[in-house]
Amino acid sequence: MAKVIHAFKQQGYRVAAIKHDAHRFEMDHEGKDTWKFAQAGSDVVLINSQEKLAMIEKVESSLSFEAVISYVKDVDIILVEGYKHEAPSKILVVRREEDLTLLSSLKDVIAIATSLPLDEKQIPIYDLDDVEGIVELIQSNILGEIKDGSRS
């Protein structure tokens, strides 16, 4: 996904990346002011600099995909890792043959990205390192663009 993000950035796109973490994650660092604010009970902590804005919000439970993307503004494309049963138009990353079992339970899979030699005939297969091919697929199937970058 990082390579795809980089390729879109090279073409001038504004890109958002969303990662769904099924485990607990921690972005704040103990002892820092933002950590102290959260420990004191703040439900939302924002930190802003000349280059970045970050927000940490306490939630009662994991948010839906739609709720998460509502936070994203002013981008051309949102790339998502996770939310496999919620996110539309997905590329299934297959690292082990067992991962192929997901294909029957997922909707809107437009391709497979893998380094395995697969004999899947129903869906396009891309090598994990075929960043150009994957980017072109996303441009044509999702962004509605043809190879020269114009809208179709």
Is residue 80 classed exposed, middle or buried when 0-12, 13-18 and 19+ CB atoms within 10 A define those classes? buried
pLDDT of res. 135: 96
Whether residues 52 and 76 fall in one domain: no
pLDDT of res. 33: 94
Q: 80-133 pLDDT, tens per residue?
A: 998 888 878 899 999 988 888 888 899 999 999 999 988 777 889 999 999 999
Confidence of residue 148 (pLDDT cuts 50, 70, 90): low
Q: 46-75 pLDDT, tens per residue?
A: 999 999 999 999 988 888 899 999 999 999
Whether residues 30 and 50 fall in one domain: yes
Whether residues 52 and 113 fall in one domain: no
Domain of 69? 1-20+62-152
Which of these, 115, 118, 110, 79, lies nearest to 92 by C-alpha position? 110
Whether residues 66 and 56 fall in one domain: no
Whether residues 29 and 70 fall in one domain: no
Whether residues 71 and 117 fall in one domain: yes
Q: 18-56 pLDDT, tens per residue?
A: 998 877 777 788 999 999 999 999 999 999 999 999 999
Task: Provide the number of structural domains found in the chain.
Answer: 2
Whether residues 93 and 146 fall in one domain: yes
Whether residues 80 and 120 fall in one domain: yes
